[in-house]
Amino acid sequence: MTNLLPPSPPAGEASRRTALGMALASVAGCARAQGSNQQGSPDKNPPPGLWQIARDRGFTFGAAVQANMLASDPLYAAAYEREAGVLVPEFEGKWSVLQPKEGEFDFSMLDAIISWGQARGRPIRGHALIWHEAFPDWALAAIGESQQRARAVMAAHINKVLGTTRLRIRDWDVVNEVVADPPGSDTPQADGELRNSPFFRALGPGYIETALRMAREQDATLRLVLNDYGVEEDTPWAEEKRRRLLNLVRDLVRKKVPLDAVGIQAHLQMRNAFNPAVFANFVRAIRAEGLSVLVTELDIREGDSVPDDYVARDRVVAERVSAFISAAAEGGVRTFLTWGLVDRFSWTVIEASVARRDGKLHRALPLDWEYNRKEMWRAMARSFQTAA
């Protein structure tokens, strides 16, 4: 959570992008589309943002946001103001930020996002209470001491965070990424259907139920979400992960464990095939258990080799996004959140584990390097407008 500066684009990339962006802006009247007129003063009648286009069709659109960028970059803040109807803290709701030392909580970064959103009428969703990453060493050591201690550490965190945010956040990822990645996937886990995470080791598979029950006990009407990834595409390992997730969800429902929704992260990859019918059926299967399904972290990693020209690249990405949103909507998803808005701040360009290896930068999100709407934005707008 320290250095969140974007990498510099490879030599020539920024200037080519700028040139291309300007060319497109003049063709498509982009100055207007960005909410300002030719003189750069605010447009009195700006065209609607993605969240308004979504809302008019009964969908919710929002995006993950970074508090320090919101405070320091006016163009970034303007993009969120224009496009995002819901805000999700990209880091600021994670354990290591909220409770870096035992009993010492720091809500300042999360508060900054909440206040910014509240001033603009944009709700915040919480992410994430129990996760194997962003989990500080003190907590790792503490929950290894005994089951009793592990339960107490879990309860203290959940109760303090939910108690503090209760009037301002009504929707939390209570457990994040709890299903194990099957063989064949990018990060396969050795065995078991559930991830071998710190709380799994400390408390056994029942830790998921324990966390959900603690959250419900703390807040009777909060939306409790189980959030996971790797279930979207048409690969054998995604098929297996869908089976595992559905199994878990059905087990929780059968045991009457409090759970309201499943979040599907949707970090899509062009290298994998996508089958709309398979995905829509999966969404339906979860909904048949009485749960809502949300798309919580949508972004796209491009294929292993990409064309030289950005227009061609953006078209491929946009087609996949359209197919995905349409299938999800057909299955009954009404909430779509992207993991960021602007390519330049996407974890797909910042994080080595998901960045490209050829020096190029993924065009993963609706707005390009210069914060302009690109083909993915238009594909999303069209998908909302035409979805059933």
Give residues in contact with ligand XIL (CB under 6 A).
90, 128, 176, 265, 297, 347, 350-351
Q: How far is the CB of 148 from ligand XIL (least distance, A)?
A: 29
Q: How far is the CB of 297 from ligand XIL (least distance, A)?
A: 6
Q: How far is the CB of 178 from ligand XIL (least distance, A)?
A: 11
Do β-strands 335-338 and 60-65 pair in parallel, antiparallel, or remain unpaired?
parallel
Of 192, 305, 146, 369, nearest in space to 313 by CA? 305
Burial (CB count within 10 angstroms: exposed 0-12, middle 13-18, buried 19+), residue 293: buried
Judged by DSSP in three states, 23 sits in helix
Q: How far is the CB of 295 from ligand XIL (least distance, A)?
A: 13
C-alpha span between 213 and 200 (Å, rounded): 16
- 191 versus 351: smaller Cβ distance to ligand XIL: 351
- 128 versus 318: smaller Cβ distance to ligand XIL: 128
Q: How far is the CB of 265 from ligand XIL (least distance, A)?
A: 6
Contact between residue 371 and residue 75 where contact means Cβ atoms under 8 Å apart = yes
Q: How far is the CB of 213 from ligand XIL (least distance, A)?
A: 22
Residues contacting 285, CB < 8 A, separation 6+: 246
- Could you tell me how far CA 208 lies from the centroid of its own chain? 20
- Tell me the residue nearest to ligand XIL as measured from the CB: 347
| Rg for the chain, CA atoms, rounded | 21
* Residue whose structure tokens are 């302009």: 372
Q: How far is the CB of 88 from ligand XIL (least distance, A)?
A: 9
- 112 versus 350: smaller Cβ distance to ligand XIL: 350
- 176 versus 197: smaller Cβ distance to ligand XIL: 176
> Both ends of the chain: CA-CA distance in Å?
40
Peptide bond into 329 cis (omega under 30): no
- 86 versus 128: smaller Cβ distance to ligand XIL: 128
Please name the residue ranges forming H helices in 304-374. Answer: 310-331, 347-350
C-alpha dihedral (31, 37, 41, 43), degrees to nearest 10 = -100
- 96 versus 159: smaller Cβ distance to ligand XIL: 96
- 176 versus 338: smaller Cβ distance to ligand XIL: 176
